[in-house]
Every structure is written in structure tokens, then in C-alpha cells.
């Protein structure tokens, strides 16, 4: 198997951000975390335009970089292309065994 074929097969078997999991997944590398979230900005005639933001955080608090997209497929393509080689991060489960259902709002 050539090196390129090996790399492509590794990417296909890897978890990536998609339309079903984008709200709770991303990628991490050392103290960096990349994920997609929603944003908005004023549009023409006072309408609000939704944005999909690919954000890179350092130490889960300091914003390092952000890209804006008008559609979810564009944001998904961008995050997978830029950060897909990092470790996949499922943010719906906390390391301490908690998760979305354990927060005080529930």
C-alpha cells in the first residue's frame, strides 16, 4: 500500500465532524480545542444572519483564531480539513464521568 493510500484509509476510519455531531464534537491538540458553534450578525434590512463559526481556543478560554461561514457544510469542511488530523473530541462527555445530563440546569 502506498503512503497516500494508507493516509486516506486512516482518514476514512477516523471520526470527523459531521452534520449530526457538530454541536458537541471538535478536535484537540495539547491545550488547543477547535469546534463549531453558532453566531449571528446584523444583515440587510435589520434581519439577523446566522453564522457557523470555526473557533480555536487555547486552554479552553482564550480565543486564538476564528473563521466565519454562512453554511454548516462549509464550516464542517473547513474544520475537518484544518484540524481533522488532531485527536477527535466528543464534548458531550466529561472526563469526570458527568456530561450534559449532570449539569445543575437539569
Rounded to whole angstroms, the Cα distance separating 63 from 59 reads: 9
Of residues 31, 38, 28, 45, the one with CA closest to residue 83:
28
Of residues 36, 27, 41, the one with CA closest to residue 76:
36
- Which residues have C-beta within 8 Å of that of residue 50, sequence separation ≥ 6? 38, 39, 40, 70
Determine the pLDDT at residue 1. Answer: 47
- Domain extents for the chain? 33-91
Determine the pLDDT at residue 22. Answer: 97
Of residues 91, 68, 95, the one with CA closest to residue 79:
68
Can you give the pTM of this predicted structure? Answer: 0.74
Report residues of the chain scoring pLDDT below 50.
1, 3-12, 105-106
- For 62-84, how does the pLDDT look when each residue is reduced to its tens digit (9 = 90+)? 999 999 999 999 999 999 999 99
Report CA torsion sign: 49, 33, 90, 83: positive
Residue carrying C-alpha cell 440587510: 44
Determine the pLDDT at residue 70. Answer: 96
Amino acid at each position: 500500500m502506498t503512503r497516500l493510500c494508507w493516509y486516506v484509509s486512516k482518514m476514512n476510519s477516523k471520526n470527523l465532524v459531521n452534520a449530526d455531531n457538530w454541536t458537541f464534537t471538535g478536535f484537540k491538540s495539547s491545550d488547543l480545542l477547535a469546534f463549531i458553534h453558532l453566531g449571528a450578525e446584523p444583515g440587510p434590512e435589520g434581519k439577523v444572519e446566522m453564522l457557523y463559526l470555526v473557533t480555536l481556543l487555547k486552554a479552553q478560554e482564550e480565543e486564538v483564531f476564528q473563521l466565519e461561514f454562512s453554511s454548516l457544510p462549509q464550516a464542517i469542511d473547513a474544520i475537518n480539513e484544518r484540524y481533522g488530523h488532531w485527536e477527535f473530541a466528543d464534548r458531550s462527555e466529561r472526563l469526570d464521568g458527568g456530561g450534559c445530563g449532570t449539569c445543575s440546569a437539569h
